[in-house]
């Protein structure tokens, strides 16, 4: 039994061993980019939208709505980043039903790379929205005593993102492989169906957590407008805001 597709070497290119993780990542990337390019090839105002283009628009509007609900403002740059994360993870998790294809997210290398990109995106978006001073001020937010804990928390965010996605996808694959030796015909199919559900939820959670991390680092002065909707308008005190992160 293998825990990770890192160990499967597909071919050797000029001395470099190209393993199954990289090849499967290329396959997922080619599917995403290729299908999107095929659908949006005739993107002109005079061409009526067909069903493929409509389905793409539904997906994009869905992602946009979810992200606007979390960040509570129209953050298009966050949508490009988190939507790409969601589409990549969701497609690679869904492709675990294809026999012989091990999803690239079942390797710790892929999930660690995705988590590192989230960790790098948080200061980039934070500095781009509020400047360096505002971003650095979030590290001493309650008081200066919390500075080391905030720095540790920044790293534990990344570690937990990586291990959560890896553990969920890998546990589905391992349980299916164990059940294949115990009860070969029916139960692995059921566990794979459960794996599809878990994969979509984990992709959603990864993207939502990335959005939450980014939007908590960016400056937003009017974030309390929606939260105090049900209460009377004179209760707009600054102590009334609850930071949900």
Partner 1 sequence: MTDLAIIAVISIFTAGMTVSFGALGPALGEGRAAAAAIAAIAQQPDAAPTLSRTLFVSLAMIESTAIYCFVVAMILIFANPFWDAMQVAAGG
Min dist CB 136 to partner 1, Å, is 27
Among 27, 77, 208, 223, binds partner 1 (CB under 8 A): 208
Asked if residue 204 binds partner 1 (CB under 8 A), the reply is yes
Residue pair 10/18 in contact by the 8 Å Cβ criterion: yes
- How far apart (Å, rounded) are the C-alpha atoms in residues 56 and 48? 14
DSSP state at residue 75: -
**Residues 182-201: x/- map of binding to partner 1 (CB under 8 A)?**
-------------------x
Distance CA 26, CA 72 (A): 34
Binding mask 11-50 for partner 1 (x = CB under 8 A): ----------------------------------------
CB atoms within 10 A of CB 109: 17
Find all residues with CB under 8 Å of 217, minimum gap 6, and list them: 122, 123, 125, 126, 135, 138
Interface with partner 1 (CB under 8 A), residue from 122, 209, 214, 217 = 209
Smallest separation, CB 105 to partner 1 (Å): 13
Residue 56 CA to residue 50 CA, distance in Å, equals 10
User: CA-based Rg of the chain, rounded to a whole angstrom?
Assistant: 21
- Compute the least distance from the CB of residue 175 to partner 1, in Å: 9
Binding mask 63-92 for partner 1 (x = CB under 8 A): ------x-----------------------
Task: Enumerate residues 133-172 that contact partner 1 by CB under 8 A.
Answer: 160, 163-164, 166-168, 170-171
Per CB under 8 A, 53 contacts partner 1 = no
Q: Is 217 exposed, middle or buried (0-12, 13-18, 19+ CB in 10 A)?
A: buried
Q: Does 202 bind partner 1 (CB under 8 A)?
A: yes
Give CA–CA dist 54/60, Å, rounded: 10
Using H for helix, E for strand and C for coil, what is the string for 199-213?
HHHHHHHHHHHHHHH
Least distance from C-beta 9 to partner 1, angstroms? 18
Q: Identify which of residues 25 and 202 has a Cβ nearer to partner 1 in the complex.
A: 202
Nearest to 22 by CA among 92, 115, 123: 92
242: left (phi over 0), alpha (psi -120 to 50) or beta: beta
For residue 166, the minimal CB distance to partner 1 (Å) is: 7
Judged by CB under 8 A, does residue 179 bind partner 1? no
Closer residue to partner 1 (CB): 237 or 244: 244
- Binding region for partner 1 (CB under 8 A): 1, 3, 69, 160, 163-164, 166-168, 170-171, 174, 201-202, 204-205, 208-209
């Amino acid at each position: 039994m293998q825990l990770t597709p890192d160990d499967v070497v597909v071919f050797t290119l000029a001395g470099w061993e190209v393993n199954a993780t990289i090849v499967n990542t290329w396959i997922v990337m080619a599917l995403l980019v290729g299908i999107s390019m095929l659908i949006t090839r005739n993107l002109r105002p005079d061409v009526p939208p067909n069903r493929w283009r409509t389905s793409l628009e539904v997906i994009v509007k869905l992602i946009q709505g979810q992200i606007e609900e979390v960040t509570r403002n129209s953050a298009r740059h966050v949508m490009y980043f988190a939507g790409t994360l969601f589409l990549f993870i969701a497609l690679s998790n869904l492709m675990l039903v294809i026999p012989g294809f091990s999803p690239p997210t079942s390797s710790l290398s892929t999930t660690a790379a995705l988590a590192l990109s989230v960790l790098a995106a948080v200061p980039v978006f934070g500095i781009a929205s509020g400047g360096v001073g505002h971003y650095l001020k979030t590290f001493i937010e309650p008081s200066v005593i919390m500075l080391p804990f905030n720095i540790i928390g920044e790293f534990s965010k990344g570690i937990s993102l990586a291990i959560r996605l890896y553990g969920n996808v890998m546990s589905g694959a391992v349980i299916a492989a164990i059940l294949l030796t115990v009860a070969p015909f029916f139960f692995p199919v059921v566990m794979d169906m459960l794996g599809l559900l878990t994969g979509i939820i984990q992709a959603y959670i990864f993207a939502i957590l990335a959005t939450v991390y980014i939007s908590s680092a960016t400056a937003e002065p009017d974030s309390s407008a929606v939260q105090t909707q049900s209460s009377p308008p004179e209760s707009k005190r600054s102590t009334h805001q609850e930071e949900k992160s």
